[in-house]
Amino acid sequence: MQVCWEKFARYFEVELKEVKLSEGCYVMDPDKAVEMVDENTICVAAILGSTLTGEFEDVKRLNDLLAAKNKRTRWDTPIHVDAASGGFIAPFLYPELEWDFRLPLVKSINVSGHKYGLVYPGVGWVIWRNKEDLPDELIFHINYLGADQPTFTLNFSKGSSQIIAQYYQFLRLGFEGYKNVMENCMESARTLREGLLRTGRFDVISKEDGVPLVAFTFRGIRDGSLAFKLSANLRRFGWIVPAYTMPANLEHMTVLRVVVREDFGRPLAERFLSHVRMALSELDLAAKGPVPKMRLTIELGPARSAEEEASVRVVKREAVSGHRSVSLVSGKTKGVC
């Protein structure tokens, strides 16, 4: 779960009930979520694009199960969709997918502009199904800036540059432009996914649809530290690939995640894959332990002319442990290395 939900629960003293993940199922199971609903539940939140794996939760099924429970109990529990990433993906790539106000219980949706809205950080929004779904008492009206200004946010003054940037992107790209960008991201994610699978070293746990990201684990290896080591090795090539453990119930799984944005095209994906292969070779080499060291006693024969190199003869060879050292024994013509 994204940390914003934990913050919300703590700051507003709301009891958070989380559906635990299980092996092979990395999103909320709608059946389990609806089972947890009671008469005090203020809403069920579904995530369109899990932060951990990019997978879309099944909002349609959640809506149907919850509608049945509401009918049975005469409660009125609504759904909020956290579409931070998916809100800018689903409309372009999966227009038939019902996750939004087409479902009657979805009352509000949040989306981040700074993810797949393609602007820089600091802009996002929440929309309500109807005016009545946002209680009036939560809206403050101020007039000291020259006109009536309704304000709902927790913070107050904010720059407008992100909004201008978002508006610019809407005008510049339009529906077709966003669709092309999202299709391209998906294509790059596919290249990445296939390349990682081809190494034979990883299991990809993200789905082929959803957010264009690839989340992967080391195949058949329980040692979670390997993912952190790979992440550290990739950093040396300039890639910041987060490695993290999965939440409760799946803490034993360590995952690496690459989120594909519009500037991550196929050439970059190929370059990334070649760096992964190099980083893997380094890990393999390190796993074999230190390279065995030999002590060689050599004799340098004098060069007979200025053009000729001195001759080298190995006179003794012994395996050593400890540090490699270079020192000269017996004058200038013999060395140990």
Q: Which is nearer to ligand PLP, 195 or 212 (CB)?
A: 212
Minimum CB separation of residue 4 from ligand PLP in Å reads 5
Q: Which helix (H) or strand (E) holds 170?
A: helix 161-198
Q: Which is nearer to ligand PLP, 116 or 264 (CB)?
A: 116
Query: Is 269:66 a contact under the CB 8 Å cutoff?
Result: no
Q: Which is nearer to ligand PLP, 2 or 180 (CB)?
A: 2
Minimum CB separation of residue 145 from ligand PLP in Å reads 26
| Footprint on this chain of ligand PLP (rule: CB under 6 A) | 2, 4, 47, 51, 82, 84-85, 112, 124
Cα 115 to Cα 81, 83, 119, 130, 147: the distances in Å are 16, 11, 7, 26, 33
Amino acid at 22: S
Minimum CB separation of residue 17 from ligand PLP in Å reads 17
Minimum CB separation of residue 114 from ligand PLP in Å reads 6
In the chain, what is the greatest distance between 2 CA atoms, to the nearest angstrom? 103
Minimum CB separation of residue 247 from ligand PLP in Å reads 13
Backbone angles phi, psi at 223, to 5 degrees: -70, 100
Q: Which is nearer to ligand PLP, 124 or 224 (CB)?
A: 124
Q: What is the rounded CA–CA span in Å between residue 231 and residue 292? A: 27
Radius of gyration of the chain (CA): 29
Q: Which is nearer to ligand PLP, 46 or 227 (CB)?
A: 46
